[in-house]
């Protein structure tokens, strides 16, 4: 699913209007109807609803929503916020339609004092239809006061298309007035701002409503940003052939662990084999290997001569993918191993955790990264690898540039993990939950991506499938256990079920 800029969103509306063809007013009616069908599943008809409407097209959506709710006998009041001199043409039509239906269901706000006259209760639901996606400057005056009033007095707020005050393509200042929505009902496409952690208070949840924009748009708009879900991933997944043997599914090498970080070895190794690798060899220290052989006898082992850290590079000839990083530490001898690996390997690489920290201390080595190397940093690791960032949007821009410059794949981990590709495209992942915010999750993801590459997927496909699969398995796991109790091993246990559902 494409993620569009505000200019592209306007083009999408205009193209639909011209080529369906449909009038802008009819398209507004369609959008309002989609919102109402969603809202009636969220709000009881006895609950007081206040629809705060501006004078632009977002306000037009709001007046149409209010009319449709009243027609369904909902307890609904439209609040016109008189923040500008003129209505947009379609907004005025929907205002007049509502006024004709129930003039007493419209309250007009012309100043801050008028807000005090509103009769509301704490259980009321607010529908935010003040401003849409076209905002390019912070709120001031009456609109700012209204937003602050709503945030102070109401807990359940449903924003239409975009929370009022939020920029969709750039970062807001910390003191900007922005609606604290409970849920945002957005039209046809997710917005980039919704996927940034910095906006978690404004868009804790969003739902994408299909309003029937023209199907040709996906070919006309050359978007470089995407939001990936189950349908997109299912198209990438291939079933395991019937006539085959273990040699057809690759041989992975996992270099992980140290004397004090042994668990990462077992987690990554198990995730790798559960993700389809035909063979797996693990190179680590003796105590980590001993624990691994108890937990995962299917893996082969290569024991480092140093009892504490990885200090030597094994023979690399037989491996088609090599992962390095989980729990290895950053000792000089281990750093030298990574340098040799970058210089001598012809295999696909997956670099995580301490290997990323070693790279951040030796940035000239970035030029040695083979094309389509997969790097899996969390935000702090990425900042160490590049530079400090003030906002998530800045970090995202750097990640895209980094992937393009070094011809690598950056898996920037987070709530909506972003996979930045060497061709400049980027993909935000939709699966997963907060139970993954726990030690070991990243080790499992490294193993999953490594196993997929070993099995025969290209590195870009392995990154996309791996990130989604990791989150999807976690979503399946929390149907039986709580997010608080979720462990990386629980996620790995659900990989088989996740594969079945994706292959079905």
Q: Are 31 and 209 in contact (CB under 8 A)?
A: yes
pLDDT at 247 over 90: yes
Cα 226 from chain centroid? Answer: 10
The confidence score (pLDDT) of residue 124 equals 95
**Considering the chain, what percentage of its residues have pLDDT values greater than 90?**
97
Q: What is the pLDDT of residues 44-62, one digit of tens each?
A: 999 999 999 999 999 999 9
Q: What's the whole-number mean pLDDT along residues 466-491?
A: 98
The confidence score (pLDDT) of residue 78 equals 97
For residue 156, the cross-strand partners are 125
- Fold designation for 233-503: 3.40.1190
Q: What's the whole-number mean pLDDT along residues 111-132?
A: 91
Fold: same for 19-222 and 233-503 = no
Chain mean pLDDT for the chain: 97
pLDDT at 119 over 90: no
pLDDT band at 307 (very low <50, low <70, confident <90, very high): very high
Return d(Cα 467, Cα 434) in angstroms, integer: 15
- Fold designation for 19-222: Rossmann fold (3.40.50)
Q: What is the pLDDT of residues 141-157, one digit of tens each?
A: 999 999 999 999 999 99
Phi/psi region, residue 440 (left: phi>0; alpha: psi -120 to 50; beta: rest), is left
The confidence score (pLDDT) of residue 63 equals 98
**Considering the chain, what percentage of its residues have pLDDT values greater than 70?**
100
Report the first-to-last Cα separation within the chain, whole angstroms.
Answer: 21
> What six digits make up the tokens of 480?
């039986």
Q: Are 471 and 431 in contact (CB under 8 A)?
A: yes
Q: What is the pLDDT of residues 125-136, one digit of tens each?
A: 999 999 999 898
pLDDT at 117 over 90: no
Residue identified by tokens 């912070």 is: 138
Q: What's the whole-number mean pLDDT along residues 307-324?
A: 97
Q: What's the whole-number mean pLDDT along residues 345-353?
A: 96
Domain ranges, ordered by start, for the chain: 19-222, 233-503
The confidence score (pLDDT) of residue 118 equals 85
pLDDT at 504 over 90: no
Q: What's the whole-number mean pLDDT along residues 434-449?
A: 98
């Amino acid at each position: 699913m494409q993620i569009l800029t505000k200019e592209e969103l306007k083009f999408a509306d205009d193209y639909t209007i011209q080529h369906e063809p449909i009038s802008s007013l009819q398209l507004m009616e369609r959008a309002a109807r989609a919102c109402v069908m969603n809202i009636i599943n969220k709000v009881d008809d006895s609950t007081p609803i206040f629809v705060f409407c501006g004078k632009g097209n977002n306000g037009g959506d709001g007046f149409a929503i209010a009319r449709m709710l009243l027609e369904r006998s909902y307890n609904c009041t439209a609040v016109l916020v008189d923040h500008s001199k003129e209505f947009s043409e379609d907004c005025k039509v929907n205002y007049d339609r509502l006024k004709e239906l129930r003039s007493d269901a419209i309250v007009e706000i012309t100043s801050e004092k008028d807000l005090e006259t509103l009769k509301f209760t704490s259980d009321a639901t607010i529908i935010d239809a003040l401003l849409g996606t076209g905002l390019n400057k912070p709120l001031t005056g009456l609109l700012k006061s209204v937003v602050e009033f709503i945030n102070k007095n109401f807990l359940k707020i449903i924003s239409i298309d975009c929370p009022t005050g939020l920029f969709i393509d750039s970062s807001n200042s910390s003191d900007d007035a922005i609606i604290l929505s409970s849920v945002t009902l957005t039209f046809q496409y997710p917005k980039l701002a919704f996927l940034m952690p910095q906006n978690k208070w404004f868009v804790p949840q969003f739902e994408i409503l299909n309003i029937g924009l023209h199907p040709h748009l996906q070919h006309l708009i050359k978007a470089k940003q995407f939001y990936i879900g189950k349908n997109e991933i299912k198209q990438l997944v291939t079933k395991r052939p019937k006539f085959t043997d273990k040699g057809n599914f690759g041989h992975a090498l996992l270099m992980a662990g140290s004397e004090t970080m042994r668990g990462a070895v077992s987690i990554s190794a198990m995730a790798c084999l559960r993700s389809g690798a035909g063979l797996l060899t693990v190179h680590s220290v003796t105590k980590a290997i001993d624990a691994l052989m108890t937990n995962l006898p299917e893996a082969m082992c290569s024991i480092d001569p140093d009892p504490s850290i990885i200090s030597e590079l094994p023979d690399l000839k037989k491996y088609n993918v090599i992962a390095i990083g989980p729990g290895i530490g950053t000792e000089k001898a281990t750093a030298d191993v990574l340098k040799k690996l970058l210089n001598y390997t012809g295999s696909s690489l997956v670099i995580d955790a301490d290997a990323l920290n070693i790279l951040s201390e030796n940035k000239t080595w970035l030029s040695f990264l083979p094309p389509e190397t997969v790097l899996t940093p969390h935000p702090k690791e990425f900042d160490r690898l590049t530079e400090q960032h003030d906002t998530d949007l800045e970090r995202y821009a750097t990640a895209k540039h980094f992937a393009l410059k070094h011809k690598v794949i950056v898996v920037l981990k987070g709530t909506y993990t972003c996979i930045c590709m060497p061709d400049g495209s980027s993909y935000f992942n939709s699966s997963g939950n907060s139970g993954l915010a726990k030690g070991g999750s990243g080790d499992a993801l490294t193993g999953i991506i490594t196993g997929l590459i070993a099995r025969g997927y290209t590195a870009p496909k392995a990154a996309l499938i791996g990130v989604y699969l990791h989150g999807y398995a976690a979503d399946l796991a929390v149907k039986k256990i709580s997010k608080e109790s979720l462990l990386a091993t629980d996620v790995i246990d659900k990989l088989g079920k996740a594969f079945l559902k994706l292959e079905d």
